[in-house]
Structure 1
Amino acid sequence: MAFMTGNSDHTVIRPATTEDCSSLAALSIEVWLGTYLRNGISGHFADYVLSQYTTAHFAEALDSTAERLLVSQNRDGIDGYIRVSNGRPSPAGGPSRTEISTLYVQPRHHGRGNGARLLQAGLKLCRSNSWDAPWLTSNSENARARRFYLRNGFEHAGLTRFRIGQENYPNDILQYSAL
């Protein structure tokens, strides 16, 4: 995939490279903690985040033929990314085996269209690889994210639970209507 011009801030959407792995890990930790932990950081959540979002984790994803990562990059660095995973059936059932497993944009870059550009690039990637229309999960308490996906062609398809240790958290399953 070639560089695609973004907005007037010289943002481009491009495939992630191994050189991006540490930036992807740092961005993921920033977004995850800022989105889901509003009342302090417990060891339980810190251990989860630090074990999941590592440079090695992203290097493995880039080596997988079933994973694609695209980044939004401005003049100073990466400000968002989308991760699309093929071969992952939806917990809601149905024919789709393509998941948008992550779409993160740094909070200070919200409202600039980066998330929409990443989503559109991810959908284009699905089409060009002849993958299914994707599904995703969104924390049920994250109303802003759910509104974003519903505005961009996703429909509510069910409910699942995201587990961390012994705890679980409700997540909406959203399915893209059609490629």
Structure 2
Amino acid sequence: MEWRLRRAAPADAAALSLVAGATFLQTFAGVLEGADILAHVARNSSADAFARYMEEGAMATLAEARAGGAPIGYTLLTVPDLPVAPQAGDIELKRIYVLAGAHGGGLGPALMARAVEDARAAGHERMLLGVYGENHRARRFYEKQGFALAGTRRFLVGATWHDDVIYALPL
């Protein structure tokens, strides 16, 4: 699938929300409880949630299918909210997701490269991210991109706690 990247604007909150819910479901169906997935998406991936992120200064990149412009992936960079010792210049890659149908075409690495480029351009010196500890595919991707383990956290999805790992990448 051919795609293009562009900076997301507040008007893109619904498109970001659509991809967020779909990719979270694709990633965690069969891993997390269905009710927990629904609660998590409703709380953290609604159009209103994305509008709030943008109002608070978050940077997002939207990936769209070249034919038709449908949203197929995104990144979201925010002020860090992770249990690691903060350093001046930190930024969190809060989200990076790509619909399964777009996997294998270089979109994930392109989104990561754009996130790193945006973070550097904004003067940040370290990128942090949290990932479900059992999401081995994502962990291999982050490690291939140069991220190293920096800590752990307990993460609430719906009503269930899960163990996450935290990665860091010097910029």
TM-score by length of 1: 0.85
Q: Please, which of 162, 165, 168 is the counterpart of residue 172 of structure 1?
A: 165
SS of corresponding position for 1:93: coil
CA apart distance, 1:133: 1.4
What is the identity, as a one-letter code, of the residue corresponding to 2:16? L
> Corresponding residue for 1:56?
48
- Determine the C-alpha separation between the residues in 2 that align with 1:79 and 1:132: 28
What is the identity, as a one-letter code, of the residue corresponding to 1:83? L
Q: Please, which of 14, 21, 28 is the counterpart of residue 29 of structure 1?
A: 21
CA apart distance, 1:140: 0.7
CA contact (8 A) 1:83 1:101 kept: yes
* Higher RCO by CA contacts (8 Å cutoff, separation 6 or greater): 2
> Corresponding residue for 1:5?
none
Q: Please, which of 103, 116, 128 is the counterpart of residue 110 of structure 1?
A: 103
5 Å matches for 1:9-158?
A: 9=2, 11-38=3-30, 42-65=34-57, 67-75=58-66, 76=68, 77-86=70-79, 88=80, 90-95=82-87, 97-158=90-151
Distance 1:116 1:159, change over 3 A: same
SS of corresponding position for 1:59: helix
CA apart distance, 1:26: 1.2
Please tell me the root mean square deviation across aligned C-alpha atoms, in Å: 2.0
The runs of 5 or more residues in structure 1 that have no matched partner are 1-7
Percent of pairs with identical residues: 24
The runs of 5 or more residues in structure 2 that have no matched partner are none
Number of aligned residue pairs: 168
Alpha-carbon deviations, 1:15-65, whole Å to 9, x = none? Answer: 102332212111111111111121685334312322322111111222222
- Determine the C-alpha separation between the residues in 2 that align with 1:141 and 1:93: 23
Q: Runs in 1 of length 4+ with deviation above 3 angstroms?
A: 39-42
CA contact (8 A) 1:89 1:97 kept: no
